[in-house]
A and B are shown apart, each in its own frame.
Chain A
């Protein structure tokens, strides 16, 4: 079973390996300076050599990401609940939510630094802005998507609005909530790095920036690798939590 699951990732491994190999060969063939585009082996070597420094920055970024995600989940669920209160509320709030996503974060981030200082707060706000939207929209759609016949059945049982929400609509919305969460998680690390890039004491964003300014391109790539690994790990974690929280859903998907 585990072997078969691993075999599912086979094609991805193969493709990645081929791409890395082509990259390595291209740089080694002398077409481009290693200072501009370092080969994968050099990146891995740099990552190992500088791990004690990168490690500290990674912890900082991860901390911001986790706090930001937690706030985003809370805000996303709150928004989904508000959208669900009545169709009037939905019409009032939805356009504002969409507008919030049109704000160019690149313009907003420096302002956030100006208002909230250089500490944790502006990063958490950037991550939250990136991440709450997919959660709110997915969850609100999930709540609206309950089978009308099921709602009729509940009303024939004289179930209260709250009971219908708790017994039918909320559990039914969980698969979509997790879909939204998966999208949010993939944005979250990038959001943290963006926040750090503008101004911070520590974090992978700062590390990338200082590395770039000292022409250590290989270290920029090392930080990118860590970013990718963090994002993948968070994505995997969400999938594991989903599998545990919704055992019925994983089973139903396999059969389809």
Chain B
């Protein structure tokens, strides 16, 4: 345990330093990221919260290797590498399941990209679907599933591609309140099973508190880190923990901060 802890201190899984991004189109410029510093330790659940359109998704695209920053560095497991794509399980806001693939084929998409033999990939997908209670839908097409189910499938696809580090961009944003709550618990279960490092985006304060070890509060565009908050609530988290005095206090603090920022 001590060794594990000291590793956490020394090399974060992900280190973002001084990342900036400005979009230019002709004479128009749009400064999206002012200068972002951020780190995620091994097995840590880190959440970014901020006003809508503040540039959180841009930061994710940069971390995931889909876009390049104007300045700054992104270090993954101690390596500052240009080639970041493929090192994260990235999940965008929409489930983006392929309608022509069955549920199990959707879950194995990442393995197809990695040229894993088909039978092995299918077996892995089915095992995962079984562990997380979706095996009965394995042969269905996505069109037959509810929104919450599709989101679960998308999450399993992300996990099967790379379970060690997940980038989750508002994965629960489109769900109704009850489905959302059961998905939050399901996500925590999944995170604990795989001991993944997670970087998570939301603009729901309670969701951030319920899930995270650490919360980065972003300003409105151009985004800066306004504050970093450690969430010192007990693990494993349960929904009731949100009623603890410490949680309520945190919620008030974060809401006040965000309200000031949205004005």
Contacts and interface: CB of A to CB of B under 8 A. Distances in A.
B228 interface: no
Contacts, number: 67
B100 A249 contact: yes
B61 A152 contact: yes
Interface in A162-216: 163, 167-168, 171-172, 174
A29 to B, nearest CB: 54
B94 interface: yes
Contact of A147 (B66, B86, B96, B143): B96
Interface stretch (B107-115, B172-180, B181-189, B243-251): B107-115
A252 B110 contact: no
Given A149-B96, A167-B109, A171-B98, A156 B66 contact: yes
A153 B112 contact: no
Nearest to B161: A157
A121 to B, nearest CB: 38
B250 to A, nearest CB: 31
Overall SS of chain A's interface: helix
Contacts of B92: 149, 152-153
A150 B96 contact: yes
Interface residues of B, number: 27
Given A251-B144, A252-B141, A156 B85 contact: yes
Interface in B152-207: 161, 167
Contacts of A147: 96
Given A155-B66, A156-B65, A163-B113, A248 B141 contact: yes
A150 B65 CA distance: 15
A246 interface: yes
B45 interface: no
Interface of B: 61, 64-66, 83, 85-86, 88, 90, 92-94, 96, 98-101, 109-110, 112-114, 141, 143-144, 161, 167
Question: Which 7 residue pairs are nearest across A and B when measured between Cβ atoms?
Answer: A158-B86, A156-B90, A158-B85, A156-B64, A252-B143, A248-B141, A159-B113
